[in-house]
């Protein structure tokens, strides 16, 4: 056999062997979602449950001196139906929030803490 033929045969055998390799199965040593994160969700008030099911984007709901304005609806990474909320209190404070539907009930989802870029950079 010529050098080129041996080289191509070796290369083909190496590729086939590489495709046949099955990596070792691993299991996570930590949960992907902190269990305490799900326990901090508060059920939305009963008078808002039906409104969250039916009202369109931009609708405002007034309850207990707080106005909830519905934003865009979306499906979360966990597969839950969610809606963005703008929460305005009678004191003039406003904040963004979200509500997600799980087992036919809407829960207010706490906002994630934002980390500064400096905290994300390694080795400083």
Residue-wise pLDDT for 47-90, tens only, equals: 889 999 999 999 999 888 889 999 999 999 889 999 999 989 88
Longest pairwise C-alpha distance within the chain: 88
Vertex 23: Cα angle to 22 and 24 (nearest 5):
120
Q: Return the sign of the alpha-carbon dihedral for residues 35, 40, 46, 47.
A: negative
CA nearest neighbour of 80 among 110, 105, 59, 57: 105
Q: Give the model's pLDDT for residue 110.
A: 73
pLDDT, average across residues 93-118: 78
**Closest alpha carbon to 83 in 54, 62, 63:** 54
Instruction: Return the pLDDT at 34.
Output: 58
- Percent over 70 (pLDDT), the chain: 77
How many angstroms separate the CA atoms of 12 and 79, rounded? Answer: 43
Per-residue pLDDT at 115: 41
pLDDT at residue number 114: 44
């Amino acid at each position: 056999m010529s050098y080129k033929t041996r080289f191509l045969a070796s290369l083909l055998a190496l590729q086939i062997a590489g495709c046949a390799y099955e990596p070792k199965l691993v299991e996570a040593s930590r949960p992907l979602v902190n269990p305490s994160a799900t326990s901090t969700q508060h059920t939305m008030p009963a008078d808002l449950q039906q409104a969250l099911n039916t009202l369109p984007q931009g609708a405002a709901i007034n309850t207990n001196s707080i106005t909830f304005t519905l934003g865009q609806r979306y499906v979360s990474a966990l597969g839950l139906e969610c809606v963005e909320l703008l929460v305005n209190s009678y004191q003039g404070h406003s904040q963004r929030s979200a509500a997600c539907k799980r087992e036919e009930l809407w829960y207010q989802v706490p906002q994630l803490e934002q980390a500064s870029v400096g905290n994300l950079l390694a080795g400083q």
